[in-house]
Chain A
């Protein structure tokens, strides 16, 4: 039995409605408990800001696409090297670090749970292998279904239950957590050298539209009672005027689940663009945020862009090809048979560039104009908008109008006429930041019930203690102190152990992977479905029995079983 007591903590725990109360946190054997014995090890938090461990509900840290980003950018690997130190392995990389680099840097910022935003089912083993070497965070993988042949056939046949059955079989096979749609239909069209421009364009051969894919998979997701909602990267990312497409996609979504949203729309900054071309490119954050404000069934994340060098990587192959034609730099394109694709290019976001400056403003506007912090979560779509090490700066920008104004003075001079940002006075408070960086993310992922994102008895003892006293610091003025505090915890506690202390990781760690096994009736077990088996064997280059990821690929295996309606 191991016991730990964090004393005199200034706790913000939004899922339990706790806002800056001084209290003790008792921990036994990796879980939060009501109280511990006098023999417990004691940490005196001395009034420091203490929150549940950070949860990133959309990041790219593990898998084939991430790894390709590493090996196509040796210059990025040279950009962030740290030597071996204590239990810490040597790391390298800045925008796409090694797995240990990701894990240590997240841990130092207080993050204990990460969701890999896009795992191609066929390549799931690679993702799970890298999870094992991301030892200081528990992990989950969103699984890509945007161009799945069997699913598109079922949608064409109008059989939503079969869609659900295929999702159930696949999630179970690849140890996936949630359902990700990246440019639904577009990645399949890309295999024909085409794309879809928005939700009404039919996908070649299958003749289903993105709108049909989205609606059908949203219904199937709820039939399976998955913890997370469908996680959507809308069509038409990154093009001027795409906000109408985004609104059209959001408009498809009914409110089907009382516990959480029915749609999680990711990196919405990239989908909130006005204008008819790059010349009149402008922000459309207002109509997007207004729409979200009226629809509790939708949660978005920011996809904030920060200036500097980074790497873009997504399953959205055609979009990356367009970016390649803009930048004329190196480019990777990748096809995943029968399922999806991907593309990667390195980019530099520059203050002197008007388009980049507008993108920077849009992400902040979405967070400031969305009334409820539970509906707009803090992300950069790491590393697409910026490496996650920029989160502290984003927090400070959201908390300080003065900081925003100071930064605004350094961006392209025409930005002011294209964005509403300078007129927005709102400054987020500590509680709202806690929602956007852990509680809201846990709720949106549907993992608060298994003990993530809060500090109630029974929860996983994942705690972040930041070296800042919120009574002494006015974040709208002392934004530099906010950046420092969120950049490096005093203690990061993961499953009841101190894993990071003042910038140093102090243990090897041991990651757990959460995945979902929906229980379906015999009739909907695709492993026994003759048509599914026949097509699998005909079209895939792997045998069906070799496709599932064995449990040996998971370090600590946390299976979440759900009772499906099929």
Chain B
């Protein structure tokens, strides 16, 4: 079953829409769903032109395709447990919160908190991801606990903050504090980033570009060969027991 949701042009398009109902599972029972714009509850068909092709009994057979200006659409795919969501443009904050299975593919850019506290499944972002991509949330101890997030553009600050398990790959640069409070899992940044893996307790962080503002509390161990690259290996943050591993192609301390 393929559900296509085309965003209708709205006069006040700057008001975010809370759309946690847009999850493949919900469409097994039809399209009688609602979303919230500010404090107003709207039927799905007030916001989108909806078309449905075919039918499905299992969530794995449901694909939801979103198009139009979806950059203010929040919480799409929250608690998603299977199926596929394809977003042709950009997507608003908190896409894929807590998802446990299935696939989300974003062709444009993703706003903050993409895949926040996700437990499983796959998120692919073809454009850039904003701050707190694949991270934990305010005050929480564990961020991502499983699954994969792959960003082909750049990522903002606090990428994969508090990651406990799973894999995060960014092909471009990442911002400040990538992998902060990491206690498991794998983070790979192909470009540059700054202050990676601050206060890490476990897990592995790879920076294939330059680690700017490298924290002085990592101890250099030596060099290793990794997938055809020569990387410099550090132990985890000795400000916090020195567990885990940080690998960088190059690094610069603050002046």
**Which A residues contact B (CB, under 8 angstroms)?**
72-78, 329
Most A Cβ at <10 Å: residue of B137, B139, B140, B141 = B139
Q: Give the chain B neighbours of A72 by CB distance below 8 A.
A: 139
**Cα–Cα distance between A76 and B140 once the two chains are bound (Å):** 9
**Cα–Cα distance between A139 and B140 once the two chains are bound (Å):** 33
Main secondary structure of the interface of B (DSSP, over half): loop
Q: Give the chain A neighbours of B226 by CB distance below 8 A.
A: none
Q: Is the CB of A73 within 8 A of B139?
A: yes
- The answer to the question of B138 belonging to the interface, with a C-beta cut-off of 8 Å to chain A, is yes
Q: In angstroms, how far is the closest chain B Cβ from the Cβ of A22?
A: 50
Q: Give the chain A neighbours of B138 by CB distance below 8 A.
A: 74-75
A329 to chain B: closest residue by CB: B141
For B158-191 the 0/1 string (1 means CB < 8 A from A) is 0000000000000000000000000000000000
**Cα–Cα distance between A72 and B140 once the two chains are bound (Å):** 11
For B134-170 the 0/1 string (1 means CB < 8 A from A) is 0001111100000000000000000000000000000
**Cα–Cα distance between A74 and B140 once the two chains are bound (Å):** 8
13 more contacts with CB within 8 A, not counting A74-B138, A76-B139, are A72-B139, A73-B139, A74-B137, A74-B139, A75-B137, A75-B138, A75-B139, A75-B140, A75-B141, A77-B139, A78-B137, A78-B139, A329-B141
**Cα–Cα distance between A266 and B140 once the two chains are bound (Å):** 31
Q: Give the chain A neighbours of B141 by CB distance below 8 A.
A: 75, 329
Q: Give the chain A neighbours of B140 by CB distance below 8 A.
A: 75
Q: Give the chain B neighbours of A75 by CB distance below 8 A.
A: 137-141
Top 10 A-B pairs ranked by shortest CB distance? A74-B139, A75-B139, A74-B138, A75-B140, A73-B139, A75-B138, A76-B139, A329-B141, A75-B137, A72-B139
**Cα–Cα distance between A77 and B140 once the two chains are bound (Å):** 11
Q: In angstroms, how far is the closest chain B Cβ from the Cβ of A96?
A: 12
**Cα–Cα distance between A75 and B116 once the two chains are bound (Å):** 14
Cβ contacts A to B, 15 pairs, < 8 Å: A72-B139, A73-B139, A74-B137, A74-B138, A74-B139, A75-B137, A75-B138, A75-B139, A75-B140, A75-B141, A76-B139, A77-B139, A78-B137, A78-B139, A329-B141
Q: In angstroms, how far is the closest chain A Cβ from the Cβ of B173?
A: 29
Q: Give the chain B neighbours of A74 by CB distance below 8 A.
A: 137-139
**Cα–Cα distance between A75 and B140 once the two chains are bound (Å):** 6
Q: In angstroms, how far is the closest chain A Cβ from the Cβ of B225?
A: 34
For B176-219 the 0/1 string (1 means CB < 8 A from A) is 00000000000000000000000000000000000000000000
B240 to chain A: closest residue by CB: A328
**Cα–Cα distance between A77 and B137 once the two chains are bound (Å):** 12
Q: In angstroms, how far is the closest chain B Cβ from the Cβ of A259?
A: 46
